[in-house]
Amino acid sequence: MKLAIAVVALTLGACASMQTASPPVSSAAPETAPAIAAEPKFTSEARWETAGYNNDEIVYTILITSQDSRILRCNTRMQGYYLNAGTKTSIADQQISTVFPNQQVQAGIWLDMDQSSGSSYQVKCRPA
Amino acid sequence: MKASAAVLCVLMLAYAALAASAEQREPWIEPHDPIAAANDSDRYAWRLFVALNWPADPASGAPDSSRTLGADSPVVWQTWQNAKAIFLPDGRDPGPWSGGRNADVIHAAERFDGLPLKPDIPTRHIVDGVMTPLTDPIAAASHLNERRVNRVSFTYIRDQQLYNLDGQLKHYRDREPIVFPTGARQVKAQWRPIDASQKSRYFSIEITLADGSRRLYGLTALHLVTKDLPAWFWATFEHVDNASRPGAASWHVDFENPPGDGAGHSGFGPIPQDLGLQGTVWENYRLGGTMTSYLDSQGRPAVLGNSQLESGVQPDTVSCITCHARASIRIQNGDWSRLPIFDEGDSQPALPGGSRTAPRKGFVGTPRPEWFETSAGDDPASAPYLQTDFVWTLGDARLSTVKAPGENSKAKGVMP
């Protein structure tokens, strides 16, 4: 059983780098390369941004910045809240992004969420 | 000599009386009266309101005197040029005035301010508790805003090449003041979806959505801004239903108990009885207030905003005239910038990621000279901010990406 867990952990470590954030993550994956393949290097950041006339629209967005020479496939999960007839209600979503070497992408823009209720996100990337 | 002066005086008084009488008889005629704007502001605002909301001749955009106020038709200000048709994404010349053809013919996405969809970024919104792809921001928006300018404004913007950043930066570099001419006028309007049962109480429009369906919207707020005075004349109107809308309490929107004359709040009184508003949809609108100076008569900062159009700002920190005095442009350390609209320094500190939980704060009171001056750390060669004559709409301008005639062939000429 211990051996199986170790194999799973090694596989995950080799194939994917994960960043979980709330507040946002700013560090890249470790630079030391595992035996099988180097972990993808990237940073991610979540922002509440204002938009629209007088900035009265608030949107949630997650940015992924590659610091890797390979193309990355990233899976972004976010969780937040919205007000449903005044009741704080949980909402979640997931997006897949392709990030080209040393480029930045917006994994998504999410509307209608309640900023004051908070949010969290998680980004996992692997070489494409 | 004395006799002729007296005759002249009588003639002038008679002319003024006749003009005033004509205005009473012909409420569709737009008033252009700086004295009334300054001294009888609320009355002047209502006269503007009636004239600009008069049904328009669709061909010319002029008021159609054969129709009555409240007739189901585009009104005068709806024939003015839409800001999105002036400040084009590639910064090109918007072309000649097309007034009279602007009321309904332009597509909703090209008419209303809103969140622009970026094709390469998934944009999602909540539908029935599920995050769903946003395909039509217009349909998803809880309200729609639009800005329009009259022909005098448009002509000035075009003549001065203020429709793109290149032209505005040239004004900055040359220190050439931007001063809109007398007669320039602009409106900001907000619409919200309404039911058919509410149509009799709202000035309304029908919009075609991306899926081809039609949706009814009612006018919920209207700013009127006119260059009758050097710092413009400011008036705002609210629909009576705004009093019961979320967030209205903080805005003191209470039509039963008007705030009376205060720091810029002069409105929420009854509608005028002699301008033909009664019995039309327009009887459901109230003057939120007018503004002609930075301070009230006691030297306190004047405050005026609209519960809908300025909903994202703390009510006691909203001043149309002070906010718009900050409309400006500057080149600093090789990059262009404008003064911020909001008071970021005094607002609630941003949370990690730039988040914020309280409405933003605006600026009130007399503009401070230091806002516009250079400061320590600036490029010594940079000049102070150039004000853009209270017109924030100029902030929509983009750098021109359109090549001048012959530019391509010239480039080819130097190619190896």
Report which DSSP code applies to B309.
T
The Cα–Cα gap between B31 and B223 comes to 16
Q: Which residue has the higher pLDDT, B160 or B6?
A: B160
The Cα–Cα gap between B389 and B381 comes to 23
| C-beta neighbour count of B261 within 10 angstroms | 14
Report which DSSP code applies to B308.
T
Q: Using a CB-CB distance cutoff of 8 angstroms, which residues of chain B are in contact with residue A49?
A: 354
Contact call for residues B137 and B210 (beta carbons, < 8 A): no
Contact call for residues B378 and B333 (beta carbons, < 8 A): yes
Domains of chain B, by residue range, sit at 25-113+132-400
Task: Say which residues have a Cβ less than 8 Å from residue A115's Cβ, sequence separation at least 6.
Answer: A48, A58, A60, B355, B356, B357
Task: Say which residues have a Cβ less than 8 Å from residue A32's Cβ, sequence separation at least 6.
Answer: none
| C-beta neighbour count of A115 within 10 angstroms | 18
Contact call for residues B220 and B192 (beta carbons, < 8 A): yes
To the nearest whole Å, the CA of B121 is away from the closest chain A CA by 6
Contact A109 B123 (CB under 8 A): yes
pLDDT at B10 over 90: no
The Cα–Cα gap between A123 and B162 comes to 43
For A99, phi then psi, to 5°, come to: -115, 120
Strand ranges inside B141-184, DSSP E: 144-149
Helix (H, G, I), strand (E, B) or coil at A103: coil
Predicted TM-score of the model (pTM): 0.78
Encoded tokens for B319: 């001043």
Task: Say which residues have a Cβ less than 8 Å from residue A127's Cβ, sequence separation at least 6.
Answer: A37, A40, A68, A70, A71, A72, A73
pLDDT band for B116, please (50, 70, 90 cuts): low
The Cα–Cα gap between A102 and A42 comes to 9
Helix (H, G, I), strand (E, B) or coil at B164: strand
Encoded tokens for A1: 């059983």
pLDDT at B264: 47
Q: Does B119 touch chain A (CB under 8 A)?
A: no
pLDDT tens-place string over residues A14-50: 345 666 654 444 334 444 544 567 899 999 999 998 7
pLDDT at B354: 43
Q: Does A25 touch chain B (CB under 8 A)?
A: no
pLDDT at A121: 97
pLDDT at B251: 80
> Between the CA of residue B392 and those of A73, B186, B355, what are the distances in Å?
41, 11, 24
Report which DSSP code applies to A125.
E
pLDDT at B409 over 50: no
To the nearest whole Å, the CA of A39 is away from the closest chain B CA by 25
pLDDT at A12 over 60: no
Closest CA to B116 of A109, A93, A96: A109
Q: Does A59 touch chain B (CB under 8 A)?
A: yes
What secondary structure does DSSP assign to B42-80, as a single string? HHHHHHHHHHHTSBBPTTT-SB-TTS-TT-SS-BGGGGS
Helix (H, G, I), strand (E, B) or coil at B14: helix
Helix (H, G, I), strand (E, B) or coil at B8: helix
Contact call for residues B54 and B63 (beta carbons, < 8 A): yes
Q: To which H or E segment does residue B41 belong?
A: helix B41-52
pLDDT at B145 over 80: yes
What does the mean pLDDT of chain B come to? 84
Contact call for residues B184 and B413 (beta carbons, < 8 A): no
Q: Does B357 touch chain A (CB under 8 A)?
A: yes
Q: Does A121 touch chain B (CB under 8 A)?
A: no
Contact call for residues B138 and B108 (beta carbons, < 8 A): yes
Domain count, chain A: 1
Q: Does A54 touch chain B (CB under 8 A)?
A: yes
pLDDT band for B98, please (50, 70, 90 cuts): confident
pLDDT at B321: 96
Q: Does A96 touch chain B (CB under 8 A)?
A: no
Contact A108 B121 (CB under 8 A): yes
Q: Using a CB-CB distance cutoff of 8 angstroms, which residues of chain B are in contact with residue A95?
A: 122
Helix (H, G, I), strand (E, B) or coil at B361: coil
Q: To which H or E segment does residue A93 belong?
A: strand A87-99
To the nearest whole Å, the CA of A50 is away from the closest chain B CA by 9
Q: To which H or E segment does residue A15 belong?
A: helix A2-15
Q: Which residue has the higher pLDDT, B357 or B233?
A: B233
pLDDT band for B283, please (50, 70, 90 cuts): very high
- Helix and strand numbers (H, E) in chain A are 1, 7
pLDDT band for B245, please (50, 70, 90 cuts): confident
pLDDT at B100 over 60: no
Q: Using a CB-CB distance cutoff of 8 angstroms, which residues of chain A are in contact with residue B311?
A: 54, 56
The Cα–Cα gap between A23 and B350 comes to 13
Contact call for residues B164 and B170 (beta carbons, < 8 A): no
Contact call for residues B154 and B88 (beta carbons, < 8 A): no
The Cα–Cα gap between B248 and B246 comes to 6
Q: Which sign does the torsion angle of CA B277, B281, B287, B292 carry? A: negative
The Cα–Cα gap between B268 and B202 comes to 17
Show the domain range for A111: 2-30+38-127
Closest CA to B188 of B46, B326, B391: B391
pLDDT at B202 over 60: yes
Encoded tokens for B273: 């009885």
Helix (H, G, I), strand (E, B) or coil at B356: coil
> Between the CA of residue B99 and those of B61, B116, B315, what are the distances in Å?
6, 25, 35
Encoded tokens for A64: 């992924």
Is the peptide bond preceding residue B55 cis, with omega within 30 degrees of 0?
Answer: no
Burial label for B90, CB within 10 Å (0-12, 13-18, 19+), is: exposed
Amino acid sitting at position B390: F
Predicted ipTM > 0.90: no
CATH number at residue A9: 2.60.40
